[in-house]
Amino acid sequence: MPTIEWKEPIEIQLGLIGTRKVEGPFEALIYLIDNWPNRSGPDFVKAKVTCKAAVEGRVDAELARRDFIAAAKEVHCYMN
């Protein structure tokens, strides 16, 4: 499976992990599953589904990017 990257990375700040650049939906999905501070928000749930679908090639990666940004804003960790 080829690695899908976004046209523009997203910079986020996650607690003790620090500032990170997220390059694409696979990295975003890993952060959502392993490191997200609040896993119950509606934007988190949507981003998780959309990022997984993008990794599987079912939706456009830029749609996953938009949803990931919304999830990051939901928990106040969006940096761009």
Q: Give percent of the chain above pLDDT 90.
A: 79
- How many Cα atoms are found within 13 Å in the side-chain-facing hemisphere of 33? 11
For the chain, list residues with pLDDT below 70: 1-2
- Burial status of residue 50 (CB atoms within 10 A of its CB: 0-12, 13-18, 19 or more): buried
Q: What are the residue ranges spanned by the domains of the chain?
A: 11-74
Distance CA 60, CA 66 (A): 10
Residue 2 has what pLDDT?
A: 59
Angle (nearest 5°) at CA 44 between 43 and 48: 115
To the question of pTM greater than 0.85 for the whole model, the response is: yes
Nearest to 80 by CA among 21, 23, 34, 32: 21
Residue 27 has what pLDDT?
A: 95
